Amino acid sequence: MFTKFIIISTFLMVVFSNTVMADIAIVGNPDENVGDLTAANVRKLFLGERQSFPSGLHATPINHAAGSPDRKKFFSLVLSMGESNHNRHWKRKRSTSISNSPIEVNSYDELLEEIFSTSGAIGYIDASNVDGRVKVLLIIKDYGGV
């Protein structure tokens, strides 16, 4: 009986140790006031349904490159869609309006630098990778579903 318990416990530890629950930080320029930000506001900004922060400051959303783990997690937790739905959304949006899709960057450093140097920039990053170049505007909790 005890051996069975050890085997099951070990199996569960291995399975759940591979589940990384890293929160996503929504980040912006440290010198700007964007007002009170919610996940719903962020979703609207990244889907082009809103062009400015609650404070009135014009927003410039910045995405990670397609396929990045942070992008997949952000799309799931905040946008509630996958890559193909996101692409369809922007294709449809560009054909019916003048909205520009978010800027894309290839690395954490590029994202942090772009936000630091661009007025109204907003992006997302694994919370453990935030540094002094940006201000955390909102934390999106990952409870292990992504």
Q: What is the mean pLDDT of each run of 10 residues along the chain (146 residues)?
A: 50 41 90 92 92 94 92 90 83 74 89 93 94 94 71
One-letter amino acid at 65 equals A
| Neighbour count for residue 39 (Cβ, 10 Å) | 15
- Give, in words, the CATH class of 22-140: alpha beta
H runs (alpha helix) in the chain: 2-17, 39-46, 69-74, 83-96, 108-117
The answer to whether 107 touches 21, Cβ cutoff 8 Å, is no
The answer to whether 78 touches 46, Cβ cutoff 8 Å, is yes
The pTM for the full model equals 0.79
pLDDT the model gives residue 1: 60
Polymer length of the chain: 146
Ordered by start, the domain boundaries in the chain are 22-140
